[in-house]
Amino acid sequence: MSFQPTLFGGSSRLSYDDAMEMTLASMRAYGADHDHWAIAYSGGKDSSATVTVIVHLIDVGLLPPPKSLTVFYADTRQELTPLAIAAERVMVQLRSRGIQVEVVRAPLDKRFLVYILGRGVPPPNNNTLRWCTRQIKVDPMTEALAARIDELEGNVLMITGVRQGESAIRDQRIVMSCSKDGAECGQGWYQQVLPNAKGVRGRIATLAPLLHWRVCNVWDWLRIHAPSERYGAWATADVADAYGGDEAEEINARTGCIGCPLASQDKALDTIIETPSWAYLAPLKGLKPLYRELREPQHRLRKEGAEKLKDGSIAANPQRMGPLTFAARLMALDRILTIQDACNKAAAQLGRPAIDIINSEEEMRIRELIAAETWPNGWEGDEPRADVMLDKVFQDGSVQPLLFRGLA
Ligand code: SF4
């Protein structure tokens, strides 16, 4: 079950005060029906605003507190460094208020880079082949939430940072896309997928109390209000700065994993490396082109003939491209480690924070999986490379031989 705050009628542009008033109204209306609240937090702008607004409203007595409040931080291991650091600071502040904070991570073999380089699954490239959000964000969140619910008595409200600005008021619809209006990756999925996920189905409701906030309301909160003593002295200005500070409304950057293959541009990373203190992260710009390159045929295997499904029928895409070759995986591992080393050498010289998008445990596991000749389900590793010319097989099983076999 998910709540859409239909009490927010009207279509005029929202002032910050109106936006906050509506948030309070929705939290009072729906929060009171739930003994326990949980917040899905990722360190991005929308969920950072959500978590700090809710805690502030409780702190100043405007919002009756629930029996318990748990903040779940989804750590993908691929977060933009300034945002990950800002999130750490916010979590310290939350814990100092007695709020339970749980850091949620995918198991080792399912982490973004281990899955790509160890198991050989190509980077995601569009919404239909998008395995990452579910695997590195939604599933770990579901598991952690299910474990927490087991400890609690009573019902739970999962609060998400889904935000759609005025379109939320207009059409009352939540989209899953994180490429729309700079929305934060994962939040729409928490809102839509989580309530029906195995382990928590029927045990939670979700609410997006900032659904109607415009992006400028978010910046005002993160940059001006939240950092002031009056509102809790939150460490949120760094979050806004990571998106480009005063230029942020125009940039409307979306954040998520560094070099996210689904984002059309690396706007947040571009903004970050323009800041002198973060310029040493510039080598990270090499990740996005690498992820794109890995999807090319010379780095992948292909099904040779008509791939039969379990029911005996032929697959819709009989000669589909599949996993990454071992050579491609090792090439990519080497390039990512080189990028990481370049950032960290500069960080050491400058006295700045280091990055670890691949830590030693993950690197070891990737090498182990490659050495064990690991392939994704349905692949043996003896399929031809995808850039090898083959007879064309159609979905009805018919074959069109190569015209120039001798040249192939
Ligand atoms: S930010 Fe991009 S790579 Fe990361 S989970 Fe979201 S869609 Fe996937």
Q: What is the pLDDT of residues 22-55, one digit of tens each?
A: 999 999 999 999 999 999 999 999 999 999 999 9
| pLDDT of the residue at 3 | 44
Whole-angstrom distance, CA of residue 271 vs CA of residue 257? 15
User: Ligand 1 atom closest to Cα of 255?
Assistant: 1
Whole-angstrom distance, CA of residue 381 vs CA of residue 151? 44
Whole-angstrom distance, CA of residue 359 vs CA of residue 329? 16
164 vs 288: which has the higher pLDDT: 288
According to DSSP H, which parts of 230-317 are helical?
A: 237-242, 248-251, 267-274, 287-293
CB 221 within 8 A of CB 52: yes
| pLDDT of the residue at 165 | 72
pLDDT over 50 (residue 60): yes
Mutate to test the pocket of ligand 1, among 42, 111, 127, 130 (most ligand atoms within 8 A of CB): 130
The mean per-residue pLDDT over the stretch 384-405 comes to 78
- The model's confidence at residue 271, banded by pLDDT at 50, 70 and 90, is confident
Cα 361 to ligand 1 centre (Å): 22
- The model's confidence at residue 183, banded by pLDDT at 50, 70 and 90, is confident
| Ligand 1, atom 1, residue with closest C-alpha | 256
Cα 113 to ligand 1 centre (Å): 12
Cα 185 to ligand 1 centre (Å): 6
| pLDDT of the residue at 7 | 36
Whole-angstrom distance, CA of residue 43 vs CA of residue 79? 8
pLDDT tens digits, residue range 315-362?
A: 777 788 999 999 999 999 999 999 999 999 999 999 999 999 999 999
What is the residue type of 170?
R
Residue 185's closest CA among 134, 243, 235? 134
Cα 133 to ligand 1 centre (Å): 6
Whole-angstrom distance, CA of residue 201 vs CA of residue 15? 36
CB 13 within 8 A of CB 6: no
pLDDT tens digits, residue range 120-146?
A: 999 998 766 689 999 999 999 999 999
Residue 284's closest CA among 225, 345, 343? 343
pLDDT over 60 (residue 179): no
Whole-angstrom distance, CA of residue 79 vs CA of residue 195? 25
Mutate to test the pocket of ligand 1, among 129, 134, 178 (most ligand atoms within 8 A of CB): 178
| pLDDT of the residue at 54 | 97
| Ligand 1, atom 4, residue with closest C-alpha | 257
- The model's confidence at residue 305, banded by pLDDT at 50, 70 and 90, is confident
Q: Which of 76-85, 123-132, 265-274 has the lowest mean pLDDT?
A: 123-132
| pLDDT of the residue at 352 | 97
Q: What is the mean pLDDT of the chain?
A: 87
User: Residue 101 in 3-state DSSP?
Assistant: strand
| pLDDT of the residue at 195 | 86
| CA of residue 367 relative to chain centroid, distance | 25
Q: Taking CB atoms and a 6 Å cutoff, what residues make up the pocket around ligand 1?
A: 76, 124, 130, 132-133, 136-137, 178, 185, 256-257, 260, 262
| CA of residue 159 relative to chain centroid, distance | 16
23 vs 389: which has the higher pLDDT: 23
CB 291 within 8 A of CB 78: no
Name the percent of the chain in helix, strand, coil, to the closest 5. Answer: 45, 10, 45
- The model's confidence at residue 408, banded by pLDDT at 50, 70 and 90, is very low
Cα 194 to ligand 1 centre (Å): 17
pLDDT over 60 (residue 5): no
pLDDT over 90 (residue 392): no
Residue 386's closest CA among 295, 262, 289, 261? 295
Token pair 């960290």 in the structure block, residue: 344
For residues 177-202, one letter each, b for 16 or more C-beta atoms within 10 angstroms of the residue's C-beta and e for the rest, the string is ebeebbbbbbbbbbbbbbbebeebee
**Domain-wise residue ranges, the chain:** 2-251, 278-379
Angstrom CA distances, 134 to 48, 159, 189, 246, 254, stand at 20, 18, 8, 32, 18
Mutate to test the pocket of ligand 1, among 80, 115, 185 (most ligand atoms within 8 A of CB): 185
pLDDT over 50 (residue 2): no
Give the domain 2-251 fold.
Answer: Rossmann fold (3.40.50)
CB 329 within 8 A of CB 120: yes
Whole-angstrom distance, CA of residue 358 vs CA of residue 343? 13
CB 218 within 8 A of CB 210: yes
| pLDDT of the residue at 345 | 98
Residue 150 backbone phi and psi in degrees, to 5:
-60, -30
**Within 13 A of 21's CA, how many CA atoms are on the CB side?**
8
| pLDDT of the residue at 242 | 79
CB 255 within 8 A of CB 242: yes
